[in-house]
Amino acid sequence: MSDSMPGRPDAVLTLDAAAHPADIVQRAAYRFSDVLTVELDRNGDTLVCRVYARDPQRLGSAIHDLRAEIVDQVLRARIRDETQDLRNLVLSVAFSRTGLAGPAA
Amino acid sequence: MISLRGRALSATLDRPLTRELWRLVSDKIPGPDEAVIGSGGGTLNVVRSGGDAGPNTVVLPPHLDHLDGGDIIAVSPDGRRIEVLWRARSRHNSLLLTERCDNYCLMCSQPPKERDDSRLLRRASALVRMLPPTAHELGFTGGEPTLYGSGLVSLLRTATQCLPDTEFHLLSNGRRFADPGFTAEYASVRNPRLMVGIPLFGAEPSLHDYVVQARGAFDETVSGILALAQHRQRIEIRVVLQKNTAPAIVEIAGFIARNLPFVEKVALMGLEMTGLARANLAEVWTDPYEYRNELAEAALLLRHAGIRTDIYNHQLCVLPRRVWPLAVRSISDWKNEYLSACMSCSVQEACGGLFASSAKHRHSDHIAAIPHPTPRAREAISSAQPQDMVMPAPP
Amino acid sequence: MRQRLTLETAPGPLEHLPFRFERWTDGRVLVTNMVGEHVFLSEAEFSALADLRIADPALLRTLRAKHVVRQRGETLPVELLALKYRTQHHRLADFTGLHMFVVTLRCEHSCGYCQVSRRTVARTEFDMSAETAVAAVETAFRSPSPHLKFEFQGGEPLLNMEIVRLVTQEAQRRNRDEGRQLAFVIASNLALLDDEVLDFADEHDVYFSTSLDGPQDLHNGNRPRPGRDSWERTIAGVTRIRKRLGHHRVSALMTTTAASLGKVRDIIDCYLEQGFHDIFLRPVSPYGFALRPRQRRAYDMAAWIDFYREGMDYILELNARGTPVVETYSALVLKKMLTNANPGYVDLTSPAGIGIAALLYNYDGAVYASDEGRMLAENGDMTFRLGDLAEDSYDTLMTGAALLDPLEESYTGSAPQCSDCAFERWCGADPVFHHATTGDPVGRKPESAFCNRNMAVFRYLLDRYTADPHARELFHAWAAR
Ligand code: SF4
Ligand code: SF4
């Protein structure tokens, strides 16, 4: 996410690092990569997220959207982890020869 | 419902009858399993209610006077009780195989009874051997016929051998087909004219299990349908619209279209006001007028999924016109009734009318004559292609 | 008396099945399950789903029916999801059904957005040779697909009928032993259609596909040729084909140029006037804006999206008034949204359609994964050149790195953003496009015109589907096509 990082960020978000792993914040930022880029720094228990706007005019709503998106990404990650095994089970059944109908379901 | 059984007005028999099933003949020398209708010289004579009781004669109760040559009846050994099993002039004959059932549907028209009635299965097997090979269609109902397991399969095998051109329709709650061994055995009958009709009352377990009053039924029924599909068996799904299922009808149709698109047919059926439906009226009755739009949406959704879909037991005046082409002119040829509103209706010919039981007990408050001459029935139903599912190989 | 069972809502502990979501600006949340079945929830319903505290029995029933949650330990939802998933992927087993033959690069048109044609009609060095044609048929028959579609392109294929005949006859000869389903299509501007071509098409069951951009002035402006009569000639050709071979034997394809913007109703009216009830509101081959962004006809995807929405509004209005019109791209998307069928359209298949759905044989014997791959090659970029008929067999073509690398990378299941996009089951990856626009086959989705276009289409269709019962019914009919 680093185009040409100018010195001063246009905004800085401080997040609880335990609840917001860096890759999740990156995923959220990726969805707005047409509007902004971010730089992340872990600082003890906090994650510092420096935001650089491509178009400073649109920064206000973009920050708001980014925050909401980070929350959603946390949820997405949780669902993904939680359902990982079921997903694999569905795939293995889908491409097995007989489906679940056999004795060992 | 017209009673198809009754007490003989009189029976004059020398000795108890040794056989139960008799085919009625009118104008020829009777064979050993044939009874003459009218006066004649057979082992058994059957006369209509006005006739004279001669020797070896049973006199029919008036409501069975319509019986005629070709019909098959069961007569009790003393000649006192008569039951009609086959009406030669009807295209909709069906045989009750048992009154036992492992479901207990809120609106069951044939409330289950828990007792051994396997004589019904033996009788059906004997009847099938007596039917003319020209028999058009024969239904097997219950109760739940699959409770017999292999016994049912033998009946189907016999039927297939004796009546190679007859269409067979088995009505089942489908749960037994979740057992792969049973389904394989059923499929081994290999009759392309055999179809099984299975009711489905929800798109997930809670609603279906409630309606059929049996926990775990949905999973077994749907697994059964999948197992039948794996064996390429012909399947019809029946959905009865009542108070609980009507609000979910689009969801149920969507579920079928997406998960079970391989079924040959879906029947969307109006409530029959008999049996438990009357006892549970408050829990099951809903006016079809209230759900007519959802019913139409569901029916067309299924059609677009390539599934033949028919609407039964619904009067045209409570159906949106775009689904009139899917409405099947009723019920059966001898149960139709019409209300006074129907007399001035322009589509009475095409309409199914009402079940006699509905006419008597409960029907839509919105039965109203369709004033205009034959309205343009929209053919808007596209020629949808059947969709296949990629079924796993049979186990 | 029997113990009465009550209508239970949550008989046991619930758990999530894999699902994805996307928020709508009006507060609703779109939830899609593992096979792309969808349901809209309110914000409150969505939090109830997220926390698995679902009090509303109807909501719980819907979520179980749509395979978004299950009761812990239930196996039926897993089995049904697997069945649907398997069905959706089945098509991939039908490798390579479409075989495109560029029988010549010559053309008597000089369309501004055309990347490939050579105006010099007389020079035959841009024609496919007989050896190349026979080798291409041989390769096509190596594909395991039970259906083979041969599409003749150009340039203007009618300028090299000799090769069109050769390919058709060779394919039919070979097929006498193989018994596959063959289809032949000539993609032509019809300007050169004559009785001989019609006799040939009649005899061999050949279909035509032509370009019709809309009303006369628009079409002729887009497609200059000597005499400025492209539209007239196309319409005359369409009429002749229908008269001779039947109405259904010719279809039309439009391209949205900058000049089309704002004229979508006129374009649709023109199609209806000409008796075409299928219309594909197609952006200029994406490479139009991708490769020559400064050219006169360039416009951005936002403009196309407005064009599409206005066109669809009009199409729905026409259908509601009893005039059947289908928008082909939407119909393909709806098939993926509402059924388990996989239409196999190149832009909507993941893994990407290249190579799997189609192979393109260029006049010079080069083989490409798609028409777009060929266009890139004409501009000097050989990334999607799979090989050469003179050197490669079907197997080496199909297993070449050129095919497989972008395929793997483009697979939407693993590309960034696509991997958690709620639309992913309906979408597809277009590696050639992303390669052309960004230099890598995955593409950065927020900036990708491909992604923007698809998202806009998905959102539009879902909005109409949920808001408008007539559209819903129509969409089911389209999905069934
Ligand atoms: S008025 Fe009677 S005949 Fe007419 S549609 Fe209604 S039920 Fe049928
Ligand atoms: S390309 Fe865009 S719309 Fe398609 S799956 Fe990827 S992120 Fe979603």
Per-residue pLDDT tens for A75-91? 999 999 999 999 999 98
ipTM of the assembly?
A: 0.88
Q: How many CB atoms lie within 10 A of CB B27?
A: 9
Per-residue pLDDT averaged across B367-389, rounded?
54
Establish whether residue C418 lines the binding site of ligand 2, counting it when its CB lies within 6 angstroms of any ligand atom.
Answer: yes
C212 pLDDT higher than 60: yes
Name the packing angle between helices C76-90 and B249-259 (round to 10°): 60
Nearest to C311 by CA among C252, C344, C271: C271
What is the pLDDT confidence band of residue C9, given thresholds at 50, 70 and 90?
low
- Give the per-residue pLDDT at B286: 87
Per-residue pLDDT averaged across C246-266, rounded?
91
- Give the per-residue pLDDT at B226: 96
Q: From the CA of B315, which ligand is nearest?
A: 1
Mutate to test the pocket of ligand 1, among B287, B314, B318, B348 (most ligand atoms within 8 A of CB): B348
- Whether residue B301 and residue C476 make contact (CB cut-off 8 A), yes or no, is yes
Judging contacts by C-beta atoms under 8 Å, the chain C residues touching residue A67 are: none
Question: In this structure, which topology does domain A11-94 adopt according to CATH?
Answer: Ribosomal Protein S8; Chain: A, domain 1 (3.30.1370)
- Give the per-residue pLDDT at B160: 96
What is the pLDDT confidence band of residue C245, given thresholds at 50, 70 and 90?
very high
Name the residue ranges covered by the structural domains of chain B.
5-86, 94-335
- Give the per-residue pLDDT at C126: 85
- Give the per-residue pLDDT at B272: 82
Q: What gap in Å lies between CA B180 and CA C357, rounded to an integer? A: 37
Q: Which residue of C has its CA nearest to A1?
A: C444
Name the residue ranges covered by the structural domains of chain C.
14-88, 95-388
Ligand 1 atom at minimum distance from B316 CA: 5
In the DSSP assignment, the letter for residue C106 is B
B376 vs C55, more confident? C55
Which of A13-27, C35-49, C302-316, C371-385 bottoms out in mean pLDDT, i.e. has the lowest? C371-385
B242 pLDDT higher than 50: yes
C168 pLDDT higher than 50: yes
Neighbours of B, requiring at least 3 CB pairs below 8 Å, are A, C
Nearest to C441 by CA among C366, C345, C376: C376
| % residues pLDDT > 70 (chain C) | 79
Show the 3-state SS of C405-446: HHHHHHCCCCCCCHHHCCCHHHCCCCHHHHHHHHCCCCCCHH
Neighbours of C, requiring at least 3 CB pairs below 8 Å, are A, B
- Give the per-residue pLDDT at A102: 36
Q: Hey, CA dihedral for C420, C424, C425, C430, is it positive or negative?
A: negative
Chain B residues within 8 Å of chain C (Cβ atoms): 104, 202-207, 209-210, 213-215, 218-219, 222-223, 226, 244, 247-248, 251, 254-255, 257-259, 261, 293, 297, 300-301, 304-306, 382, 384-385, 387-392
Taking CA atoms only, the protein residue closest to ligand 2 atom 6 is: C418
Q: How far is A98 from chain C (nearest CA, A)?
A: 10
CA of residue C451 to ligand 2 center, whole Å: 5
Which of A39-48, B290-299, C278-287 bottoms out in mean pLDDT, i.e. has the lowest? C278-287
What is the pLDDT confidence band of residue C353, given thresholds at 50, 70 and 90?
very low
The answer to whether B214 touches B178, Cβ cutoff 8 Å, is no
Q: What is the rounded average pLDDT for all residues in chain C?
A: 83
Which of B197-206, B233-242, B248-257, B331-340 bottoms out in mean pLDDT, i.e. has the lowest? B331-340
- Give the per-residue pLDDT at B371: 81
Q: What gap in Å lies between CA B167 and CA B197, rounded to an integer? A: 13
In the DSSP assignment, the letter for residue B32 is T
C290 pLDDT higher than 60: no
Which of A68-72, B25-29, C200-204 bottoms out in mean pLDDT, i.e. has the lowest? B25-29
Q: Which two tokens stand for residue C127?
A: 């024609």
Judging contacts by C-beta atoms under 8 Å, the chain B residues touching residue A98 are: 392-395
- Whether residue B304 and residue C64 make contact (CB cut-off 8 A), yes or no, is no
Q: Which residue of A has its CA nearest to B389?
A: A94
- Give the per-residue pLDDT at C439: 55
- Give the per-residue pLDDT at C285: 56
Which of B193-207, C278-292, C411-425 bottoms out in mean pLDDT, i.e. has the lowest? C278-292
B39 vs C41, more confident? C41
The single residue listed with the structure tokens 């000049």 is: C259
The answer to whether B104 touches B212, Cβ cutoff 8 Å, is yes
Residue B313, sorted as left (phi over 0), alpha (psi -120 to 50) or beta, turns out to be: left
B273 pLDDT higher than 80: no
CA of residue B316 to ligand 1 center, whole Å: 6
Q: What gap in Å lies between CA B314 and CA B271, rounded to an integer? A: 9
Q: For chains A and B, what is the number of CB pairs under 8 angstroms?
A: 16
- Give the per-residue pLDDT at C39: 97
Helix and strand numbers, DSSP H then E, in chain C: 18, 15
- Whether residue C447 and residue A34 make contact (CB cut-off 8 A), yes or no, is yes
Q: From the CA of B371, which ligand is nearest?
A: 1
Per-residue pLDDT averaged across B197-222, rounded?
94
Q: How far is C329 from chain B (nearest CA, A)?
A: 18
Q: How many CB atoms lie within 10 A of CB B14?
A: 7
B300-337 burial: b if 16+ Cβ within 10 Å, else e: bbbbbbbbebebbbbbbbbbeebbbebbeebbeeebbe
Per-residue pLDDT averaged across C138-157, rounded?
87
CA of residue A86 to ligand 2 center, whole Å: 23
List B149's β-bridge partners, or say none. none
Per-residue pLDDT averaged across B110-134, rounded?
89
Question: In this structure, which topology does domain B94-335 adopt according to CATH?
Answer: TIM Barrel (3.20.20)
- Whether residue A94 and residue C420 make contact (CB cut-off 8 A), yes or no, is no
Q: Give the one of C71, C80, C469 whose C-beta lies nearest to B297's C-beta.
A: C469
- Give the per-residue pLDDT at B303: 94
- Give the per-residue pLDDT at A99: 46
Per-residue pLDDT averaged across B376-383, rounded?
39
- Give the per-residue pLDDT at C287: 47
Per-residue pLDDT averaged across C76-102, rounded?
82
The answer to whether B196 touches B174, Cβ cutoff 8 Å, is yes
C405 pLDDT higher than 70: no
C65 pLDDT higher than 80: yes
- Whether residue C477 and residue B382 make contact (CB cut-off 8 A), yes or no, is yes
What is the pLDDT confidence band of residue C354, given thresholds at 50, 70 and 90?
very low
The answer to whether A34 touches A54, Cβ cutoff 8 Å, is yes
Q: What is the rounded average pLDDT for all residues in chain B?
A: 85
Q: What gap in Å lies between CA C171 and CA C181, rounded to an integer? A: 11
Helix and strand numbers, DSSP H then E, in chain B: 10, 17
Q: Hey, CA dihedral for C254, C255, C258, C262, is it positive or negative?
A: positive
What is the pLDDT confidence band of residue C323, given thresholds at 50, 70 and 90?
very high
Q: Hey, CA dihedral for B153, B154, B158, B161, is it positive or negative?
A: positive
Residue B2 φ/ψ, nearest 5 degrees: -70, 130
- Give the per-residue pLDDT at B378: 37
- Give the per-residue pLDDT at C187: 93
In the DSSP assignment, the letter for residue B146 is G
C461 pLDDT higher than 90: yes
Q: Give the one of B206, B304, B392 whose C-beta lies nearest to C7's C-beta.
A: B206
CA of residue C450 to ligand 2 center, whole Å: 8
C15 pLDDT higher than 90: yes
B381 pLDDT higher than 50: no
Which of B159-163, B280-284, B373-377 bottoms out in mean pLDDT, i.e. has the lowest? B373-377
Q: Give the one of B204, B293, B384 whose C-beta lies nearest to C65's C-beta.
A: B204
C440 pLDDT higher than 60: no
Q: Which two tokens stand for residue B8?
A: 């003989």
Best CATH choice for the domain C95-388 from the list 3.30.56.10, 3.40.50.300, 3.30.70.2700, 3.20.20.70: 3.20.20.70
Query: Could you report the per-residue pLDDT of B109-118, keeping only the tens digit for each?
Result: 888 888 888 8
Which of B15-24, C98-107, C126-135 bottoms out in mean pLDDT, i.e. has the lowest? B15-24
Ligand 2 atom at minimum distance from C350 CA: 5
- Give the per-residue pLDDT at C31: 98
What is the pLDDT confidence band of residue B189, given thresholds at 50, 70 and 90?
very high
Q: How far is C448 from chain A (nearest CA, A)?
A: 9
Ligand 2 atom at minimum distance from C415 CA: 6
- Give the per-residue pLDDT at A47: 92
B172 vs A10, more confident? B172
Among the ranges C102-116, C150-164, C403-417, which has the highest mean pLDDT value? C150-164
- Give the per-residue pLDDT at C429: 56
What is the pLDDT confidence band of residue C294, given thresholds at 50, 70 and 90?
very low
- Give the per-residue pLDDT at C154: 79
Torsion angle (degrees, nearest 10) of CA C302, C303, C306, C309: -90
Per-residue pLDDT averaged across B240-267, rounded?
95
Among the ranges B57-71, B85-99, C109-123, which has the highest mean pLDDT value? B85-99
A93, A97, A98: which to substitute to probe chain B, counting the most B Cβ within 10 Å? A98
Q: From the CA of B367, which ligand is nearest?
A: 1
- Give the per-residue pLDDT at C444: 53
- Give the per-residue pLDDT at B377: 41
Taking CA atoms only, the protein residue closest to ligand 2 atom 1 is: C451
Beta strand pairing call for B167-171 and B137-141 = parallel
Neighbours of A, requiring at least 3 CB pairs below 8 Å, are B, C
Q: Which residue of B has its CA nearest to C338?
A: B258
Q: Which two tokens stand for residue C238?
A: 């369409």
Chain A residues within 8 Å of chain B (Cβ atoms): 96-99, 101-102
A34 vs C446, more confident? A34
- Whether residue C417 and residue A75 make contact (CB cut-off 8 A), yes or no, is no
Q: Give the one of B210, B255, B387 whose C-beta lies nearest to C5's C-beta.
A: B210
